[in-house]
Chains A and B, each alone.
Chain A
Amino acid sequence: MRVSIPVALCGAVLCGVLIAQIGLGEDAFVVKVQKKVHDLQPSRAEKRFDEIGWAPSILEAEKIAKKLNRPIYLFTYNGKIETGRC
């Protein structure tokens, strides 16, 4: 099963808190770091772009479009829209 990294990270962060409490002791700075990590992760609202089924390339989109008889929506842009480094 494929999971999104933010979802997996939330799980990992919660798991980390548990480990912190059970294995290596409950350090105040660990709890502080975990909470801030959690708060900074992209929210579902900020990731709605991922709800769209993007084709991996123009050429691949054209193949799929012919097969499904659907039009193509092509958005051209600068930078890296998927990571926000754009």
Chain B
Amino acid sequence: MRAGPLSNSKVIEVLNKYYVPVTSSNEGAGDLGKGPPAEKTERRRIYDEFLNKKLGVGDVHVYILAPDGRAIAGLDIASAEDADKEYELLRQVVARLHTEPGQPAVTPRPQSFPPAAAADAMIFHVVSRHLPMGGSWNEYPAENWIVLAKSDWIQLLPPKDIALKASWDVPLPVAVKLVEWIYPQAEEVELQNRSRVDVASLHLAVTTLREGVGRARIDGRVRLRHSFYPGKPSEDYANSKLLGYMDFDVTQGLIQRLRMVTTEATYTTSEFATSIVSISRETFDSSDH
């Protein structure tokens, strides 16, 4: 849906001009979801009303409600994925209701944004793509946000008396937190990572050191087991080699930036690529979270 009708110009325009669009994950507001009870109750009411009116229901489904919340139309997922069919239904509904066009009911904003974090935490953005892109589970990259508390990120730094060409390894627990999302898009229903990390090696070596400011090259290796479907354990492995760098201030004990990418990466039999980028405090403060 996201890469299909919800990326279609006509559908986007009609949703923004005439509707109040909202998404609802089954893991959040479904019957067994972990979301707010009031949201779950309302979603159940909607489901029951569509069921009673024989308008169609489904876990993955489009429900159209009147401005007063009544059930008025719906689309099963197969029909909803057809952008033309979806557009036609959306147009028919607003024509029937004589809905006046206007500005988007809610200002559009990035839907993937960093979580709230302590002022001294470091935040990293992960982007992971199958290669080549395209096809099912492969239409757009997966994203994650990693938050490292100061007690964690400080372990990435070298000792204050570091010298040029000196090297060190990141302690395993911190390395695992940085690399456990290095796999391409798969089915996920929880925020918690469910990978079993077998290898998480991050080796840093100082390449530049000038007046207390340094750069370390990062060479790494990751092997993790991540079954494609949650709840269906299988021996699906992601193997990656990593290259990156970290700029740091030895005197102040700060990481200025960290960038890592995969140079070779396979998940089962297919290739993928991942980047991990630290987000500056300025970028974090200027984003939605």
Contacts and interface: CB of A to CB of B under 8 A. Distances in A.
Interface of A: 1-6, 8-9, 12-13, 16, 19, 23-25, 27, 29-30, 32-34, 36-37, 40-42, 45-62, 64-66, 68-86
Nearest to A2: B288
Given A24-B247, A69-B67, A74 B142 contact: no
B283 A12 contact: yes
Interface stretch (B1-9, B196-204, B232-240): B1-9
Interface of B: 1-3, 6-7, 12, 15-16, 18-27, 29-30, 36, 38-39, 42-43, 46, 58-69, 72, 80, 90, 93-94, 97, 99-100, 102, 104-114, 125, 127, 129, 139-144, 185-189, 191, 207-208, 210, 213-215, 217, 243-245, 247, 257, 259-261, 273-275, 277, 279-280, 283, 286-288
B141 to A, nearest CB: 5
Which 4 A-B residue pairs are closest in the complex by CB-CB distance?
Answer: A53-B104, A82-B111, A48-B7, A53-B106
B127 A49 contact: no
Given A70-B19, A72-B19, A73-B62, 13 more contacts: A1-B286, A29-B245, A49-B7, A53-B104, A58-B29, A58-B39, A59-B38, A70-B99, A72-B64, A76-B24, A79-B27, A80-B188, A84-B2
A17 B257 CA distance: 12
B26 to A, nearest CB: 5
A70 B21 CA distance: 10
B24 A74 contact: yes
A30 B100 CA distance: 53
B275 A36 contact: yes
B99 A69 contact: yes
A67 to B, nearest CB: 9
Nearest to A86: B188
Nearest to B215: A24
A43 to B, nearest CB: 8
A42 B127 contact: yes
